Amino acid sequence: MALSLPSGVTLYFARHGQTQANVEKRFSGNKDTPLTALGLQQAATVGHILKRELGAAPGYHFVASPLARAVATMEIARQAMDLPAEGFATDNRLKEIDLGVWDQLTDEEARAQSPLLFEQRGNDKWHVRVPEGENYAEVAARITDWLQELKIDTVNMKYSQTSYTLETGKFYWWTVSSDGEEEDIGLAAPELFAASWIYQIVSGDDNANEVHTQSLGSIEFDDKGTQIIQFIPIQPGQYAFYTPGFENKGLKGTVLVN
């Protein structure tokens, strides 16, 4: 079973830092084991490398296994990037393999407990599981399930411009395009549009579709295309625009109306 990313998605990943169980050469699954001093250094190194490659990583989404060693590694790495330690999600599907009754045993202890099973698993980890645990195929299945939800490349997905300065009383055309990679995605700027006179929204081939409306909160795309919002700002102020559901990935900006 080959693991693969959805088309267009870029993923950076790292293992947690060294743990006490690693030092003692113990099977380490879902039971907690603390990072060692070296593990703490390794976690910081991950952050330094990511900062070197990605800067402050605007628009990137961070996710970790909920196990304590993974969470600690993520927090330390983010701090090394000068980011808030807590700014990430966790997902159970990213947990280490469940090693069942062998969790925290050494090889010798596991072999003494189940000599035949130890040999069988050593020859076929993909299919043989430890009692109350998982095999590699089951781990791959849940990881694949998680990967298939990564529909948007938070590395490449971005606005062409995140700030605008407009003037009241002037007529503007705001052209918004989607490449169609993600369904049901759009642009929202409810406060700006409420403080403007909306003339019409133009879309379709050769801008053939015209929608006249007196109120507007957002526009949406079901497929690849372009929509043009024609409007006149009326009320001065600073207004936010964003893609609903993706603000924490950097899809947000501001419009200053003088």
Calculate the average pLDDT of the chain.
88
Q: Could you tell me the CATH number of the domain that includes residue 57?
A: 3.40.50.1240
Query: What pLDDT does residue 17 have?
Result: 96
Query: What pLDDT does residue 247 have?
Result: 73
- The answer to whether residues 221 and 182 belong to one domain is yes
Whether residue 154 is predicted with pLDDT greater than 60 in this model: the reply is: no
- The answer to whether residues 191 and 91 belong to one domain is no
- Pick the last residue of a domain from 119, 147, 175: 147
- The answer to whether residues 26 and 143 belong to one domain is yes
Q: Is residue 8 in some structural domain? A: no
Of 69-78, 114-123, 190-199, 204-213, the poorest mean pLDDT is in 204-213
- The answer to whether residues 169 and 238 belong to one domain is yes
Q: Could you tell me the CATH number of the domain that includes residue 190?
A: 2.60.40.420
- The answer to whether residues 100 and 210 belong to one domain is no
> 199 is in which domain, residue-wise?
163-257
Which residue reads 């079973």 in tokens?
Answer: 1
- The answer to whether residues 80 and 178 belong to one domain is no
More confident residue, 114 or 151: 114
Whether 103 contacts 27, CB under 8 Å:
yes
Q: Is residue 133 in some structural domain? A: yes
Q: Is residue 53 in some structural domain? A: yes
- The answer to whether residues 57 and 26 belong to one domain is yes
- The answer to whether residues 24 and 143 belong to one domain is yes
Tell which residue, 56, 47, 257, has the closest CA to residue 172. 257
**Tens-digit pLDDT profile for residues 42-66:** 999 999 999 998 887 766 789 999 9
Domains in the chain, number = 2
Whether residue 164 is predicted with pLDDT greater than 80 in this model: the reply is: yes
Q: Is residue 13 in some structural domain? A: no
Residue 74 exposed, middle or buried by CB count within 10 Å (0-12, 13-18, 19+): buried
Distances (CA, A) of 120 to 26, 69, 89, 96: 19, 29, 37, 21
Tell which residue, 190, 189, 130, has the closest CA to residue 163. 189
Query: What pLDDT does residue 212 have?
Result: 86
- Pick the last residue of a domain from 147, 181, 198: 147
Give the separation between CA 16 and CA 143, rounded to whole angstroms. Answer: 17
